[in-house]
A and B are shown apart, each in its own frame.
Chain A
Amino acid sequence: KAGVTQTPRYLIKTRGQQVTLSCSPISGHRSVSWYQQTPGQGLQFLFEYFSETQRNKGNFPGRFSGRQFSNSRSEMNVSTLELGDSALYLCASSRRDRNTEAFFGQGTRLTVV
Chain B
Amino acid sequence: AQKVTQAQTEISVVEKEDVTLDCVYETRDTTYYLFWYKQPPSGELVFLIRRNSFDEQNEISGRYSWNFQKSTSSFNFTITASQVVDSAVYFCALIQGSYNNNDMRFGAGTRLTVKP
Contacts and interface: CB of A to CB of B under 8 A. Distances in A.
Given A42-B108, A107-B43, A96 B102 contact: yes
Given A56-B101, A99-B50, A101-B35, A43 B106 contact: yes
B90 interface: no
Given A101-B35, A101-B47, A56 B99 contact: no
B112 to A, nearest CB: 16
Nearest to A33: B102
Interface in A8-34: 31, 33
A58 to B, nearest CB: 7
Contacts of A90: 43-45
Interface in A95-113: 96, 98-107, 109
Given A56-B103, A102-B102, A43 B44 contact: no
Interface in A56-100: 56, 58, 88, 90, 92, 94, 96, 98-100
Interface residues of A, number: 28
Contacts of B103: 33, 45, 48, 56, 58
Contacts, number: 60
A29 to B, nearest CB: 11
Given A43-B106, A56-B101, A94-B102, A104 B45 contact: yes
A92 B102 CA distance: 10
Given A104-B44, A104-B45, A31 B33 contact: no
B72 interface: no
A94 B45 CA distance: 13
Contacts of B105: 45
B57 interface: no
Nearest to B42: A106
Given A45-B104, A99-B52, A106 B44 contact: yes
Interface of B: 33, 35, 37, 42-47, 50, 52, 91, 93, 99-109
Given A43-B106, A99-B52, A109-B43, 13 more contacts: A42-B109, A43-B109, A45-B104, A88-B43, A92-B104, A99-B33, A99-B50, A101-B35, A104-B45, A104-B46, A104-B47, A107-B43, A107-B44
